[in-house]
Structure 1
Amino acid sequence: MAKTAQGSADTAPEQAQRGLDQVQLSALEQAFRAWVEASRRQADRVSRQRLWLIFLLLRSTGARLGEVLGLNARRDLDLGPARPVVRFRSNGGDREVPLPADVAGELQAALADPELMGSLAAGPAGLFDMDQGHVRRKFYERACEAGIPRGLASPSALRRSLARSLVRQDVPLPVVQRLLGQSSADLTAAFCDYSDAEAGRIVEEYLKREERRKTSARNHFAGQITRVLRGPVVSSVELTSLGGFKVVSVVTRDSVERLGIRPGVLATADIKAPWVQISAGSEEPVSSAANRYPGVVRRVLADPAEPVAAEVVAELADGTRLAAVVTAESARRLGLAEGAPVWVSFGAFSVILNFG
């Protein structure tokens, strides 16, 4: 009877919740770490370390379990500091997925571990070659240790959780689809169904986020840190957006160290509208601004009751919209009307980087 009660307790949360939240994901990660560190025999340590790496790849890439177990570490991992990636190969087409810097570091350490590599008959090529059933059982055991329903610790639940997290961070659905290697956006959208309780929490978070946006930065780039140039006082940080645009920011050296800013880290860059400059025409202007992009005017908001200022919204090639506040006289003089080509620019000191 007690076993039946436990089964009901495990099943009910899964019905109400269809993916791991950040607290549960952190608890599962801690359970894996503790399990690996608790190993005493070399054989146990090697096996647990391999399972830990499989967990990290599933958590950070949204790949299918079979895809991760089929990886050849020598061929499919590129762990260079500029842009670490993993390449998944399938009959439906290969895809390249960026790796967070911490995951790339764990993989590098494993590949440099002589005991781990020496235990593999096939060397690095066999690092992830493990039985699917064994992997799933160990995932379920870690879920029990973390107090999480076992169904939420399955490889497919990790895949679903990453998809939901990216969508909630405003990553476009087609981008998430390509990341997961799915054939259509409809399949990806199916990952983002929510229980009533989850939907309520998401709406509350969205409203709070929108309220914060109204009082802070207007313009938004989401992407990955691709370069950090350290100086004695300040550092230059480059973010590459999902649309391929480079955004340069200047932050203090203390902030770089305190926030762990390094290549591979996901971040967003925000720029307040008064800091954005608009230049008319399709020819790139001569400017000292570190960030300059060609665009097209999509909207000019000029209120007759406000004869001093106007808001100009320009769209970049990837659909990103940047708003600028200019004088009404400048808008008239530059001929800023809907459809007009422009260059949008802003300085590196005007960029606000956000993490997490």
Structure 2
Amino acid sequence: MNRHGERKVLHSINEKTSHSRIVSSSSNSFYLDTIQLNRLEQTFRKWTDCTERLDIKLTRKRIFIIFLLIRYAGAKLNETLAIDISRDIDFRQKLVIFGRKRKKNGSVREVQIPQQIISEIRAAINDPLYKKHIGSSLKVDPGHVRRKFYECAKYAGILPSAGTPEIIRRSRAIELIQGNMPLPVVQRLLGHSTPNITASYVTFSEEEMKKVARYFAEKESNRKTSARNSFFGKISSITRGDIQSQIELQNISGDIITTVITNNSLEKLGLKKGSLITAEVKAPWVILEKSKTPPVTTAENILKGSIAYINKGKITTEYVIRMPDGTELCSVVSTKNANLTGLKENDQVWAIFNSFAVVLHTD
């Protein structure tokens, strides 16, 4: 079990989706869910920065870029290592172009990825030191890449064997299917030479498939960039009452967020255990308390974080709390009360809010 008390679980494709035909027929037909993928991504970020040596940090950054391309473009390891960033990434269109060297064989494909990921890659290669010492090539020994993937998976509390590029690629495909991306578009993204168009009742032109891929990349990017007061996670339990239901979701850090919704809303949203969902809490409903131990309160949600910054106005004061997974939680109080609390930046605080203050979003 990992530090959150969570079992190191791999999901079976056949248990979760009928689209197992889109991936390799390997006997290892397992995948990571979105929460596990995001946790792995956070681990890669920490691993990249947790060294004082510049040369190591730069080479780790290249490995991290390789991970991002496999994670968000569903790419194979060998085609990712063949990428030249300056040649094969269109930053304006947010496209990664695979197989450009094999253009005469007609195997080139374009994959749309989220704006935030594109921006992160561009920032990395525009770093003068990265540009000087690493350059735009991703050519690295595949064995070395695999070892680093195994290490980060282990640090993330995931089985090392689940950190392979192949499972991450497979997981991306399942993630998109579960997000309702049409099967032909997923097949096109993966670069399947003979997409099973008959698996869908709707056929898509090449341009339509590009538009669908663009829409999903933008939706995913919006979810990443509008994270303040939003918790993306997986429903861990549903307790149904006669009128309302209590729902618990677990976020990337393993925190449990509790909310209460009507049974009618539960049915309309089609929620069930294991569903991926976003929970949002309004800033005025978040109460802050500074103490070494969790406060005694009737509120169901108690999260620990640090005050990233304070924006004090004449009438109200805004506190932005940063959680361990990078999520930002905003609390708004009257400036009169803010002056009484004595809270300051970098203080460790508890953010407290009631389950009735949480709203769920399926997108």
- Superposition TM-score, scaled by structure 1 size: 0.48
Which one has a bigger Cα radius of gyration? 1
